[in-house]
Structure 1
Amino acid sequence: MDIENLKFEDGLVTAIAQDYKTGDVLMVAFMDKEALKKTIETKRGYYWSRSRRKLWKKGESSGHEQIVHDILIDCDADAVLLKVEQIGGACHTGYRSCFYRTIDGEVIGEKLFEPDEIYKQ
């Protein structure tokens, strides 16, 4: 499969980052073609920020980068699964995973850092 055959909607494809050892889902983001190409070339997670409207490397400001071990494409070719080794927390709120709470709001995830200490502007 060639990345040109992926179904990018409005220039983006859904990207799921999963811990390559435990299978835990760490985060969901979006990639444009450039982000996917850079991820393939460097074996590091790159994404497209819809809020900032720019390409970003996971960990560029926090140091909590993703080492990509494998990239899988779903059956409809409209999503990618990155199997990653996450260095530090995946979530910008300080948790290991962005999926750190239940639907009822109970926090069940592990907090690894305080965002105010990492993201100084």
Structure 2
Amino acid sequence: MSARLDIVIPVYNEGPNILATLGSLRDNVRTPMRILICYDRPDDDTLTTIDANRAMLQGLHIDYVRNPGRGAHGAVMAGFAASTAPWVIVLPADDDFNGGIIDGMVAKAEQGADLV
């Protein structure tokens, strides 16, 4: 399955939040997707939290993208550079409530909307 959507999630020590966000994506998004976790430092607790809970996240295609710089802007730009899908969404690491609108956003984009 080829991803039609890449979801770029910039992170910095989001271990306490990331599982709820990823769970929301798993439970709500049906568009074939890849999740790009964009981080600055290899000791970021987001990465260890995801790795320790891979069984719970089964079915999600999650890739790590190292930000060569620092900060949220650099992480988002690194995610864009790594993206290969026709559509890209940037999602905050603590956003566990908007998963339900993502399929509709992709549908609008595919229908030719100028902005979603």
Which TM-score applies when normalising by structure 2? 0.26
Q: Which structure ranks higher in relative contact order (CA pairs < 8 Å, sequence separation ≥ 6)?
A: 2
Which TM-score applies when normalising by structure 1? 0.25
Question: Whose strand fraction is larger, Structure 1's or Structure 2's?
Answer: 1
Question: Whose helix fraction is larger, Structure 1's or Structure 2's?
Answer: 2
